[in-house]
Amino acid sequence: MVESQGEPPSGNGAGRRVGRVRLTVPCEIKGVKGKASTRDLSVDGCVVSSPERSAVGDQLELTLRLPGKMEIPAEVRWVKADPAKDLFSLGCRFVHTDGSQQALKEMLKKMASSIDNAARGVK
The predicted-structure confidence for 56-96, as pLDDT tens digits, reads as follows 999 999 999 887 888 999 999 999 998 888 899 999 999 98
Residue 80: exposure state from Cβ atoms within 10 A (0-12, 13-18, ≥19): middle
- Examine residue 75 and state whether it is found in any structural domain, yes or no: yes
The answer to whether residue 8 sits within a structural domain is no
Domains contained in the chain, number: 1
Angle at 6 between CA 5 and CA 8, to 5 degrees: 105
Please state, in angstroms and rounded to a whole number, the distance separating the CA atoms of residues 36 and 29: 7
Q: What dihedral do alpha carbons 29, 61, 66, 69 form, nearest 10°?
A: -100
The CATH number that applies at residue 69 is 2.40.10.220
Q: Per the domain annotation, does 98 fall within a domain?
A: yes
In a domain, residue 3? The reply is no
Q: Which among 3, 1, 50, 6 is positioned nearest to 30, based on CA atoms?
A: 50
Q: Look up the pTM and report it.
A: 0.77
